[in-house]
Amino acid sequence: MLDAGKIRFSENHTDDYGIFIDSQEILYSKKSKYQLVEVLKTNTWGNLLLLDRNIMTSERDEFIYHETITQVAMHSSDAKRILVIGGGDGGTIRELLKHERVEKVVLVEIDGEVIEVCKEYFPSIACSFNDPRLDLRVEDGIRFVKECNEKFDIVIIDSSDPFGPAEGLFRVEFYNACKSLLNEGGILVCQAGNAFMTDESVIAFSNLSKVFKNTEYFLAPILTYGGLWGFVYASDEKQSQKDFNEDYYNSTGIEFKYYSKDIHKGIFALPPFLIKKLNNEKD
């Protein structure tokens, strides 16, 4: 809820647990064609983007999410053409376009309002929309993938949680359609939800395991999302560790705030409870 008196935002993760953030000001609030888009000004997190009252990104910790969802695949392949589904805040394309070898990034975002709001209120995130290598499509990602006849080296599904416009992005049918767009040696990466509190991680991992020969789960601490956040790396040919290109990592000169060669190795180490959860084993 948003309390206009205190300007206190709260988001429930379960019926009896969630987080709250005190806001100084509601900078933007408007219903788009698809969802309620809001921006809060906060002391701790900087500007905070909400979609249907769910936290999407903050100025302070966004780099953890955006570096994680992009750089693992970028450093275990020689990708030059990348498709991003979702990601209207611009953080994912910013990370991809740091790489000089990238020739083309196609970003498909269903809600153009999100893009425009982020350009205005999150300029450090939405800073790559004018890059000539970007092909921006404001349309439905599921339809785009179904009708697309291009091929890509990486497909990144940078979606919101599996409800509303993003619900279909977690289904086997959509993953199969994405796989059909990959070149040989291609990689699919997606965000997979809260690893501790929800079943989204199990759903994404299980469904991708039905589509790809190699499916790997990895983690990052996204504080505004409530803690451990899951991602899935999927490919028929590539493996995150075997194909990690340390020479490329050392040669780019790209400075990261979260990702590193040690992080690349470490984020795939999973605690026993999560391994059991992903394998549908009971404690």
Annotated binding-site residue? 89: yes
User: Beta-carbon neighbour count of residue 108 at 10 Å?
Assistant: 22
Q: 208 vs 198, which has greater pLDDT?
A: 208
Is there a contact between 45 and 55 (Cβ–Cβ < 8 Å)?
no
C-alpha 170/C-alpha 72 separation (Å) is: 20
Bridging pattern class, strands 36-42 and 17-31: antiparallel
246 marked as part of a ligand binding site: no
Question: Kind and range of the H or E element at 12?
Answer: strand 8-14
The amino acid that residue 169 corresponds to is L
Is 58 labelled a binding residue?
no
Q: Which range has the worst mean pLDDT, 55-64, 102-111, 164-173?
A: 164-173
Does 158 show up as a binding residue in the annotation?
Answer: yes
**Which of these is catalytic: 52, 158, 236, 243?**
158
Tens of pLDDT along 36-82?
999 999 999 999 999 999 999 999 999 999 999 999 999 999 999 99
158 is catalytic: yes
Supply the mean pLDDT for the chain: 93
- Residues forming beta bridges with residue 188, ordered by sequence position: 155, 234
The bridge status of strand 81-86 relative to strand 54-58 is unpaired
Q: Which amino acid is at 121?
A: Y
Of residues 277 and 80, more confidence is placed in 80
Per-residue pLDDT tens digits for 203-245:
899 999 999 999 999 999 999 998 899 999 999 999 999 999 9
Pick the closest to residue 216 from 171, 257, 265 (CA basis). 265
pLDDT band at 197 (very low <50, low <70, confident <90, very high): confident
Domains of the chain, earliest start first: 2-58 (2.30.140.10), 62-278 (3.40.50.150)
- Average pLDDT value for residue range 145-159: 96
Q: What is the pLDDT of residues 120-132, one digit of tens each?
A: 999 999 999 999 9
pTM: 0.94
Going by their DSSP bridges, the two strands 54-58 and 46-51 should be labelled as antiparallel
pLDDT at 5 over 80: no
Beta bridge partners of 221: 228
